[in-house]
Amino acid sequence: MRQLGPSHEESPEIYTAYQQETIGEMNLALRTAREPLALVAAVKALVLAVDPAQPVYDIATMDERLSESTAPQRFNALLVGVFALAALALAAVGIYGVLAFSVARRTPEIGVRMALGARRAAVLRMVVGEGLRLCALGVGLGLAASAPLTRLLRSLLFGVSPSDPLTLVAASAALLLVAVMACYVPARRATEVDPMVALRHE
């Protein structure tokens, strides 16, 4: 049983008769196919029929008990999730800004290539490919660095691996998509400019 909560390891338990080992208080667990809280009055009446002086208090469903026991972990997980989304957004904005600025500064180079007869599709592939390679290198380094840091999340998770492949793939794909857009949009704009105008661009 996990008597101390889901974050603790299971420990052996022995169930004994109440009269064999009496304690100061007693818990009553009831499984029902009906709405649990609809039976509160009937359960109280049955308990009072056995012992009119026995108080019945702190009544809650098992879902409420489980929610109460995991409330601190759920709050911490929510905070981690919010900060993770904020970090992902900042990373996306940073990647877009840096790559878009870098591609925009290459407008004269793109103009030279276009003036020498380079095809627009080839120029776009070259610029987007270079940006993707740079971003893929950063994503790879980030994934490698995140592997040892996932151990810090184990205390917030129960029966779930901290290195969720779907989450890692989704975050990486989002950053790569941002890199594609950051390279493609300014590169397409540069290829649409007249080569002579692009050569005079500063």
Angle at alpha carbon of residue 193, lines to 189 and 197, rounded to 5° = 135
What's the chain's average pLDDT? 81
CB neighbour list of residue 143: distance below 8 Å, 6 or more residues apart: 168, 172
Tell me the mean pLDDT in the region 145-163.
71
Please give the Cα distance from 98 to 135 (Å, whole number). 11
> What DSSP element (H or E) covers 127?
helix 120-149
Annotate 24-73 with DSSP letters as a single string. Answer: S--------SS-GGGGHHHHHHHHHHH-TT--------HHHHHHHHTHHH
**Confidence (pLDDT) at 45:** 92
What confidence tens digit (pLDDT) does each residue in 116-130 have?
787 888 888 888 888
Q: Tokens 């052996």 sit at which residue?
A: 12
Task: Count the neighbouring beta carbons within 10 Å of the beta carbon of residue 51.
Answer: 8
Whether 17 shows a pLDDT value over 70: the answer reads: yes
In eight-state DSSP terms, residue 122 is: H
Whether 142 shows a pLDDT value over 80: the answer reads: yes
**Which of the residue ranges 16-25, 31-40, 167-176 would you say has the lowest mean pLDDT?**
16-25
Distance linking the first and last C-alpha atoms of the chain: 71
**Which of the residue ranges 63-72, 94-103, 143-152, 166-175 would you say has the lowest mean pLDDT?**
143-152
Whether 163 shows a pLDDT value over 80: the answer reads: no
**Confidence (pLDDT) at 160:** 65
What confidence tens digit (pLDDT) does each residue in 54-113 have?
888 888 888 888 888 788 878 888 888 899 889 888 988 888 888 888 888 887 887 778
Whether 202 shows a pLDDT value over 60: the answer reads: no
Query: Is residue 38 left, alpha or beta, with left meaning phi > 0 and alpha meaning psi from -120 to 50?
Result: alpha
Please give the Cα distance from 196 to 34 (Å, whole number). 80
